[in-house]
Chains A and B, each alone.
Chain A
Amino acid sequence: MSATCEYQAKDYKSDLKPIWCPGCGDYSVVQGLYRALAAIGRPPHEVAFISGIGCSSRIPGYTTAYGFNTVHGRALPIAQGIKLANPDLLVLAAGGDGDGFSIGGGHIAHLIRRNIDITYIVMDNQIYGLTKGQLSPTSQKGRTTCTSPYGSLENPVNPLLYTLAYGAGFVAQASPTDLVGMAAIIEEAIRYPGFAFVNVQSPCVTYGEEAQQIKGLKAISESLAALGHDPADRLAAMDLAQHYGSKMHLGVFYKNPEPPPTYDALIRERQALLSKDAPPKERILDLFIKK
């Protein structure tokens, strides 16, 4: 692992032209990510960036990290394998609200409880953009989309409560409405030693509702810091998180003041312990000798 050195935001930007619609919130997110990575200063080739499928999942290709644009809903399991195979890497995962909380929903709980040092950024726009505007698990009830022409009958998932309830050590929300704040939150999340979740309210200009565009989001935006929220208080965080959908709270909801050892750190300990005095793998068949 090389020492951190002077990197600038543009060192993390690749030459690939994004397919995102002009005006997409994800342009701001990736900009914020470049800045966060520059501030942290890990060389791009030591960063692994894994995503699922969706508009926002295209993001790894727009960075100079080792990217892996995998299959729908499975960024986290794959990211998990990467981190456990090489814990020295800085591992990021990203995707949309559908990728994460619909098909991918079953995996989030396990990444949280294993507390693997991965930062997971979800670009939440309450819609399935890539496939042309279907209902997503965070769409508001009553929302009309091309798969809910008479209005959605489902209550949305609350990504903030979800991750808080499963015990995530770091949960935050950000938005392009506050660029500086978003870059700072992403940086803080990456620095957090353990599984960190950032929900970014990133509007879809093609399918998003008017009220959920930047102007609409600004109108319902509130800073957690300004409210005097203490990020060490999980219950207070969950209380505030209930307002997902009606208010957009920005900032760190919860950050464990005493982060426990990460899964990857514990594995390294175990490897160190058990490989002492272990016979070489060429002698592995000795395990089957019956005397």
Chain B
Amino acid sequence: MRKDLVFGMAGSGGDGIVSAGDSLLQAASAEGYHGVMTKSFGSQIRGGESSCRVRISTDPVLNPGGNLDVAVALNWEDFLKFGAELPVAGTTVVIYEAATGVAENQIPLVGVTPLQVIAVPIAAMAKETAGTERAKNTVVLGLIAGWFGIGAVAVMKGISKKLAKKSQELVEANQKAFDAGMAFAKSHPLKADMTIVPSENKGGVKLLTDGNDMCAAAAIFAGCQFFGGYPITPSTEIMQFFTNHVWKYGGAVLQAEDEIAGIGAAVGASFAGKKAMTATSGPGLSLKSEMMGLASIAELPLVIVDVQRGGPSTGLPTKTEQSDLFAAAFSAHGDVIRPVLAPTSVADTFRTTIEAFNIAEYYQTPVIILSDQEIASRKETLDPIDTSQFKIINRLRPSGTDLQDYKRFKQTENHISPISHPGMLGGTYLASGIEHVESGAPTNSGSVHARMNDKRIKKFDPLKERKDLFEITGNPDAPLALVAWGSVAGVCREALQMAREQGLDVKLMVPYLLYPVAEQTYRDFFASVQKGLVVEQSHLAQTFKVLRMHLDLPKGLQSLARSGANPFLPGEIVVALHHLLSELQRSHEGKLQPQE
């Protein structure tokens, strides 16, 4: 029996394999399991190669998993296109379409002997029972229910609900296909028992959603009342959520004519006193630079979500990467500090988004949320969130006294000035991108500029002291360390568990605040560290470089970085940690050699 199963399924878009993954995850969730589903596609809008990975577990799932436990290939050409994203190992059970004509001992996977390989006449079964080959995906779900014990009842319940509006015939056809799959599984038992441990959580409330929807919902919860944006994969769903729901809360959303107009409208809404947001991916972030600079100098609160994808330029629109850190922290000319936060999962996208709004409002600044394609589009089960625990911060409003001789950019002890908005009597001011004196009037004086830069930069000092924006796990004095953020943090969390089970003394730092760099927090973390890895999906190792820019890193801290669309697996991180341990031991031994 297994507590954790990772399914990887691939076919062409017409096979409905992603839809099957959805159904599987929903069924698992209904049965009380934890689960995560990611999808990966080719570049065709329809009918290209299509895959999904579903990980189901009795414990909370930290990441989509490493090697597959179960691989389902509806055809080999498409399956192979996904290469490292669907890694088959000696522990994998491979199920594939018999109609491919490939013999079970001749499947085209090089250098690996799977645990078991089974050819199943999936298309034929679909045709026979449901009357159409298109019901292949339902047959697959039946096979999974039969062999692995997930969703025996829940899957069809879900499918019936989904198709209820269409026709009873369709539901029945699907039921037949499902039953056929189950029957095949029962009559062809697997060599190993891979059924999943029964869940103890049946009947509990679980939420199921993806990172984009979660981000938008969190924004509305935080009081966001305006969204301006433009469609771009993989962030468009955030805008779509707003178009469905924000009206109910007295807010507005604008799909603008371009990326710049999108953020422009959000800047305007913030100037008008509303919490505002925009969302995009790498190419849009580049376009939005100028507006971000404007918001910084005008000290306007604003949240900008960048759902990172493969770059540079158009890059890989449907794959994840972590190569926008430089752009998020440094783009927009001039001396600017712009806070950058990063969620690590769908679940913590909720509080990261709220935090982004709080920081934006308190410090009167644009804030970037660096999400990534994996978190944004992966579906995750999560336990209900108690929203009452979250504090919402609003921008500092001028008092009656302030309004008597109102100076929008008044120097204060903490460099934060009360901010008015149109409609507020006595609060009139000129906002602008040009440098300005306390009242807002334009200036080109060097001394004023120096003071204003001081204000705009020093106001962020307290942010760097916030320990609650960092997650540190493991022995605080451990000599080995991992640093990772975003979706890679989930992989490292699992790697940490595995490494510690194997006796390694290692700790993990997950920063939620990427910029400004909290130098002291890192120094404290690195004090005990002799060897470590900064793990990231960025060819240039942007995180490693940003850290090195700001503080002296331990000599033994190395970069483990690679381009996106080449996911890290927990297992390989553990192997890397073992290497580091060996290096560490050798260097100690070296030190213990008596001098000649």
With A45-B422, A77-B265 already in contact, the answer to whether A275 and B249 are too (CB < 8 A) is yes
- The residue in chain A whose Cβ has the minimal distance to the Cβ of B264 is A77
Minimal Cβ-Cβ distance residue in B for A1? B423
Which of A43, A47, A70 is B294 in contact with, Cβ under 8 Å? A70
Overall SS of chain B's interface = mixed
CA A66 – CA B426 in complex, angstroms? 10
- How many whole Å from A102's CB to the nearest CB in chain B? 14
Asked whether, in the complex, the Cβ of A45 is within 8 Å of the Cβ of B265, the reply is no
Q: Is A274 part of the contact surface with B, judged by Cβ < 8 Å?
A: yes
Residues of B within 8 A of A67 (CB): 429-432
Q: In the bound complex, do residue A84 and residue B226 qualify as a contact, i.e. CB atoms below 8 Å apart?
A: yes
Evaluate contact between A45 and B261: CB separation under 8 angstroms. no
- A120 CB to closest chain B CB (Å) equals 14
* Partner pick for A77 among B245, B248, B261, B424, CB 8 A cutoff: B261
Query: Which chain B residues border A270 with CB–CB below 8 Å?
Result: 247
Bound complex: CA of A289 vs CA of B26, how far in Å? Answer: 11
Q: Is the CB of A69 within 8 A of B433?
A: yes
CA distance A84 to B254 in the complex (A): 9
Q: Which listed residue, B29, B249, B254, B429, touches A81 by the CB 8 Å rule?
A: B254
Contact residues of A between 53 and 77, Cβ < 8 Å to B: 53, 58, 60-61, 64-71, 74, 76-77
Q: Given A61-B441, A71-B291, A274-B248, is A88 in contact with B274 using a C-beta cutoff of 8 Å?
A: no
A48 within 8 A of B: yes
Task: Tell me if B217 is interfacial: C-beta within 8 Å of chain A.
Answer: yes
Chain B residues contacting A285 (CB-CB under 8 Å) are 207, 217, 221, 350, 384-385, 387
Rounded to whole Å, the gap between the CB of B242 and the closest CB of chain A is 12
A81 to B420, CA, bound (A): 17
Known: A86-B423, A290-B206. A45 touches B428 (CB 8 A): yes
Assess whether A74 is in contact with B207, with CB atoms less than 8 Å apart: no
Taking A81-B264, A274-B247 as contacts, is the C-beta distance between A284 and B257 under 8 angstroms? no
Chain A residues near B152: list those with CB within 8 A.
none
Q: Are A44 and B428 in contact (CB under 8 A)?
A: yes
B304 at interface, CB cutoff 8 A: no
Q: Are B250 and A78 in contact (CB under 8 A)?
A: no
Q: A183 near B: Cβ within 8 Å?
A: no
Q: B249 contacts which chain A residues (CB < 8 A)?
A: 275, 278, 281
Residues of the A chain whose Cβ atoms lie less than 8 Å from the Cβ of B217: 284-285, 287-288
Q: Taking the complex as formed, is A107 at the interface, i.e. its CB lies under 8 A from any CB of chain B?
A: yes
Q: Is B256 an interface residue (CB 8 A)?
A: yes
CB distance from B283 to the nearest CB of A (A): 17
A68 touches B426 (CB 8 A): no
Taken together as a complex, chains A and B put the C-alpha atoms of A78 and B423 apart, in Å, by 17
| CB under 8 Å from chain B, chain A span 71-102 | 71, 74, 76-86, 88-89
Interface pair A81/B276, CB less than 8 Å apart: yes
Please name all residues of chain A whose beta carbon is closer than 8 Å to the beta carbon of B570 when the two chains form the complex. none
Q: In the complex the two chains form, what is the Cα distance from A117 to B478 in whole Å?
A: 62
Question: Which residues of A238-285 are within 8 A (CB) of B?
Answer: 267, 270-271, 273-275, 278, 281-282, 284-285
A282, B265: Cβ atoms closer than 8 Å? no
Most buried by B among A79, A86, A273, A275: A86
Q: Is A16 interfacial (CB 8 A cutoff)?
A: yes
* Contact assessment for B422 and A46 in the assembled complex, using a CB-CB cutoff below 8 Å: yes
- How far, in whole Å, are A61 and B257 apart by their CA atoms in the complex? 28
Query: Is B258 positioned at the interface, with any CB of A under 8 Å from its CB?
Result: yes
Bound together, the chains give a CA A61 to CA B429 distance in angstroms of 8
The answer, yes or no, to whether B252 is at the interface (CB within 8 Å) is: yes
With A and B bound together, what is the CA distance between A285 and B218 in angstroms?
8
Interchain CB contact (< 8 A) of A50 among B257, B262, B268, B423: B268
Q: What's the least CB distance linking A43 to chain B, in Å?
A: 7
CB pair A271 B252 closer than 8 Å: yes
Interface pairs A-B: 4 shortest CB-CB: A81-B268, A77-B264, A81-B265, A278-B248
Sample of 8 further A-B pairs with CB below 8 A, known A70-B294, A288-B213? A16-B441, A46-B423, A50-B268, A61-B432, A77-B228, A109-B257, A267-B252, A273-B247
Show the binding face of B for A, using Cβ within 8 Å.
Answer: 26, 29-30, 205-209, 213-214, 217, 220-221, 223, 225-226, 228, 245, 247-252, 254, 256-258, 260-262, 264-274, 276, 290-291, 294, 298, 350, 384-385, 387-388, 420-434, 441-442
A-B contact pairs, 6 of them (CB 8 A): A69-B442, A74-B291, A82-B268, A84-B252, A86-B274, A288-B207
